[in-house]
Amino acid sequence: MRIVLGVGGGIAAYKVASLLRLFTEAGHDVTVIPTEAATRFVGVATWEALSGHPVSNSVFDDVHQVNHVRLGHEADLIVVAPATADLLARAATGQANDLLTNTLLMASGPVLFAPAMHTEMWQHAATRANVETLRGRGVAVLEPASGRLTGSDSGPGRLPEPEAIFDAAIALTQGSSDYQLPLAGKTVTISAGGTREPLDPVRFLGNRSSGKQGVALAVAARNAGATVRLLAAHMEVPAPAGVEVVAVETALQLREAALAAAADSDVVIMAAAVADFRPAEISGTKIKKRDDAADPVISLVRNPDILHELVELRDAAANQLRRSQLIVGFAAETGDGEGDVLAYAEAKLRRKGCDLLVVNHVGTDKVFGQDTNAVVILSRSGSEPQEASGTKTEVSAAVINRIGYELNHVSPRA
């Protein structure tokens, strides 16, 4: 694939060298176009050495090749990182005062901007308007990451990690014909892994969840352009780059984190395996096994129904000045003599009241800890169940695509 990598004039330009390496190691042919300001942060020699191509930012170099027209026409993908406030403004207003902005005007394929700037600049009305203008034209603009900025500042405005930009760029070339990321500008909260309910300082009640499906969902949502917050219970896999991680252990901790996160989320996906019960009492010391003592009896109490509570809070605020929110539940079910998996799942959907319920048939050798999954997506609207199967990455892509469809085609709640 032929890629044009535009580099804006921000301190985060040094991270883009790693992004360039990811593209070239994946076999792509990359032409780097830095702005004049970008060369003050990373020199031309670095870009030439890593890309294997001459580097220029002037329309007057190699005029016989008509680069200001040719590069945009030939590119299968254009990625701009860091996309500064100035670059976003120039792109939105169609300026063409250097080789990069000329190339953007000539683009015939997908374009991805990865913004990086101070929080106040990102949140300024002018920048937000420029971003919306670009997205309205079908250009993909990632949400910046949150965290430490230049100096002591902290907040949204960090350049997403190179791996996150790479994944989003590749996903963009495999997406729809209009190249619009389905969750661009959305905030998505996802719970993942299994909660653990302590019995004593060394023991707990847990489950077999590995967190693989929740992490795959976080990656898919991130690649779809969302700002992703991952509520991570016990997981056997690392959290992906480019998402905010909130660590939790128990169901009560997950409840607190989910209620807080839902306040500013467009989508909430409860994929974690949450314990239904917890010990009524937690021993402050290890429970000893003694021959002269009776076997311990452990009394359990119900944990709160986090998914149902999220739905109730959302619906209670429906008539207030608050944007509509999509809530997705997961159901790990086993059939028995009284009903099959789908029968129990449909009853759970009615009981929980969420918009979508992703159902899988679990067992000792099914789903938990595996790399593959097969699910059925049920909708509160009564539409036909949707099946998805394959790797957990493929299942996650199907779930995120369905969420994008629901957000763009379902009327807001009254």
2-173 against 187-409: fold identical:
yes
Instruction: Tell me the catalytic residues.
Output: 207
The predicted-structure confidence for 173-206, as pLDDT tens digits, reads as follows 875 444 456 787 789 999 999 999 999 999 999 9
Q: What is the pLDDT of residue 337?
A: 58
Mean pLDDT for 148-153 is 72
DSSP assignments along 21-72, one per residue: HHHHHTT-EEEEEE-TTGGGTS-HHHHHHHHSS-----TTTTGGGTHHHHHH
Give alpha helix (H) positions in 53-198: 67-74, 85-92, 99-105, 119-123, 125-136, 162-173
User: In this structure, what token pair is assigned to residue 333?
Assistant: 């079910």
In contact, 190 and 228? CB cutoff 8 Å: yes
116, 161 contact by CB (below 8 A)? no
Among residues 204, 207, 236, 231, the alpha carbon closest in space to that of 217 is found at 231
The mean per-residue pLDDT over the stretch 404-410 comes to: 78
Q: In the chain, pLDDT over 70 holds for what percent of residues?
A: 89
**Residue 158 pLDDT more than 70?**
yes
- The pLDDT of 251-272, averaged and rounded, is 96
Is the pLDDT at 322 greater than 70? The verdict is no
pLDDT at 85: 96
CATH assignment, 187-409: 3.40.50.10300
* Structure tokens given for 267: 């989508």
Buried b or exposed e, range 214-249, using 16+ CB within 10 angstroms: bbbbbbbbbbbbbbbbbbbbbbebebbbbbbebebb
Of the given ranges (199-213, 329-343, 370-384), which has the lowest mean pLDDT? 329-343
Lowest mean pLDDT among 71-80, 173-182, 202-211: 173-182
71-75, 79-83, 116-120, 207-211: which is most confident: 79-83
The reply to whether CATH 3.40.50.1820 applies to domain 2-173 is no
Q: How far is CA 336 from the centre of its chain?
A: 36
210 pLDDT tier (thresholds 50, 70, 90): very high
257 vs 373, which has greater pLDDT? 257
Taking residues 22-41, report their average pLDDT. 95
Which segment, 122-126, 170-174, 255-259, 330-334, is predicted with the most confidence on average?
A: 255-259
CA–CA gap between residue 114 and residue 135 (Å, rounded): 13
- pLDDT: is 311 or 324 the higher one? 311
- Of residues 186 and 79, more confidence is placed in 79
- In 3-state terms, what secondary structure has residue 195? coil
| DSSP codes of every residue in 220-239 | HHHHTT-EEEEEE-B-SSPP
- Integer CA distances (angstroms), 215 to 177, 240, 295, 300, 387, in order: 27, 7, 39, 30, 20
- DSSP code at position 153: -
Sheet of 356-361: strand order equals 244-247, 227-232, 187-192, 267-270, 326-333, 356-361, 372-379, 386-391
Q: Is 276 helix (H, G, I), strand (E, B) or coil?
A: coil
Amino acid at 19: L
Which of 65-74, 126-135, 271-280 is the least confident region?
65-74
Mean pLDDT of 368-389: 85
In DSSP terms, which residues pair with 188 in a beta bridge? 228, 267
Q: For 34-46, b where at least 16 C-beta lie within 10 A, e where not — what string?
A: bbebbbebbeeeb
Q: How far is CA 185 from CA 141, 393, 410, in A?
A: 8, 22, 18
Overall average pLDDT of the 213-228 stretch: 89
Residue 129 sits at φ, ψ, to 5 deg, of: -65, -40
The whole-number pLDDT of residue 51 equals 95
Neighbours of 403 (CB within 10 A): 27
Rg for the chain, CA atoms, rounded: 24
Domain boundaries, the chain: 2-173, 187-409
Question: Would you say residue 36 has pLDDT above 90?
Answer: yes
CA dihedral 220→372→270→230, nearest 10 degrees, is: -50
Lowest mean pLDDT among 226-230, 315-319, 382-386: 315-319
Report the amino acid identity of residue 320. Answer: Q
Strands 2-7 and 29-34: parallel
